[in-house]
């Protein structure tokens, strides 16, 4: 039977991961939203208020940004962490933020401590999916890690990468964010910025990983993000992480793929309806 129903043995092997009051769970979908980069205190507060109000269970925002071009905005660093954790604390939701280098691990831990040990998830970005020193170091913290697939990494590569993290004790949440194919690049000339690898969601789950889907970096253009996100939910991802901005056209990072509050509203409401249809047909729990 083609399904992720209770009878599907591998699905029963996926263990929930608690982060503060929320649980990333095989039977529930988590929606995580926020800007690509933390840009200011006000921006972070505005976006957090909007997305949490619409049902996001955690917020995202990069303080350390890996940029293809060093001239581009590379994040606010420690100041950005403060704004992100401020917003998470105020709205009572965990935060997700990228760690790019070993020395940033302590800075992020410290930001959490400064906010009464506010719960968070470390994000490992696509570019660091094979940075084994970093993977090992972050794994030793015991804090949950959302591991994004490298754009050129296959399933075996990613299981190996996850092993470096879990070896130290941190649980891993896989994040499928698109792969490099002949049909990706400029999202106006090709199919997308990357190619959403829907099969990989099922394969990561088969390997025992909770798997969250990132439509933003796959699509690379805002007008495709909602549809691609729904495809991820439809295939049975355990949640969606999406880039949302209060003024997408002026986002300092990844502006072409930043969706508006209205688009996020459509995304989360339609996704929840889709979940219901899937549950009713016992396609998922």
Catalog residues that contact ligand PEP under the rule CB under 6 A: 36, 62, 66, 125-127, 148, 177, 217
Tell me the C-alpha distance between 162 and 141, whole Å. Answer: 14
175 binds Mn ion (CB under 5 A): no
* 112 versus 216: smaller Cβ distance to Mn ion: 216
60 DSSP 8-state letter? E
* 173 versus 219: smaller Cβ distance to Mn ion: 219
Closest distance between ligand PEP and the C-beta of residue 196, in Å? 12
Query: Of ligand PEP, Mn ion, none, which one does residue 126 interact with (CB within 5 to 8 Å by kind)?
Result: ligand PEP
Query: Of Mn ion, ligand PEP, none, which one does residue 75 interact with (CB within 5 to 8 Å by kind)?
Result: none
Q: How far is CA 130 from the centre of its chain?
A: 18
What pairs with residue 195 in β-bridges? 179
Q: Are 230 and 42 spatial neighbours (Cβ–Cβ below 8 Å)?
A: no
Tell me the C-alpha distance between 71 and 203, whole Å. Answer: 37
Query: Of Mn ion, ligand PEP, none, which one does residue 125 interact with (CB within 5 to 8 Å by kind)?
Result: ligand PEP
Stretch that binds Mn ion, among 34-42, 90-98, 127-135, 191-199 (CB under 5 A): 34-42
Choose which of 139, 254, 258, 268 interacts with Mn ion (CB under 5 A).
254
Residue 178: count of CB within 10 angstroms of its CB:
26
CA atoms lying within 13 Å on the CB side of residue 7: 5
Stretch that binds Mn ion, among 80-88, 108-116, 177-185, 247-255 (CB under 5 A): 247-255
Give residues with Cβ within 8 angstroms of 208, minimum separation 6. Answer: 10, 13, 14, 15
Closest distance between ligand PEP and the C-beta of residue 278, in Å? 26
């Amino acid at each position: 039977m083609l399904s992720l129903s209770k009878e599907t043995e591998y699905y029963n092997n996926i263990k929930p991961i608690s982060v503060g009051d929320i649980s990333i769970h095989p039977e529930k979908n988590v929606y995580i939203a926020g800007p690509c980069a933390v840009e200011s205190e006000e921006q972070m507060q505005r976006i957090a208020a909007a997305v949490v109000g619409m049902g996001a269970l955690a917020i995202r925002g990069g303080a350390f940004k890996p940029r293809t071009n060093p001239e581009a905005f590379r994040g606010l660093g420690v100041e950005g962490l403060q704004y992100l954790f401020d917003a998470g604390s105020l709205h009572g939701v965990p935060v997700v933020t990228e760690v790019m280098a070993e020395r940033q691990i302590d800075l992020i831990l410290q930001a959490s401590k400064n906010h009464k040990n506010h719960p968070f998830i470390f994000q490992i970005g696509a570019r660091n999916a094979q940075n084994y020193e970093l993977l090992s170091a972050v794994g030793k913290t015991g804090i949950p890690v959302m591991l994004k697939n490298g754009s050129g990494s296959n399933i075996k590569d990613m299981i190996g990468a996850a092993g470096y993290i879990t070896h130290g004790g941190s649980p891993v949440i896989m994040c499928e964010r698109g792969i490099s194919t002949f049909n990706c690049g400029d999202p106006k000339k090709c199919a997308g910025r990357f190619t959403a690898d829907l099969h990989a969601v099922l394969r990561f789950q088969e390997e025992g990983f909770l798997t969250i889907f990132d439509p933003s970096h796959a699509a690379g253009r805002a007008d495709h993000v909602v549809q691609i996100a729904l495809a991820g939910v439809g295939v049975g991802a355990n949640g969606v992480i999406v880039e949302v901005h209060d003024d997408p056209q002026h986002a300092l990072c990844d502006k072409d793929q930043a969706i508006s509050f209205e688009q996020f509203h459509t995304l989360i409401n339609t996704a929840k309806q889709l979940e219901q249809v899937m549950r009713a047909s016992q396609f998922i729990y």
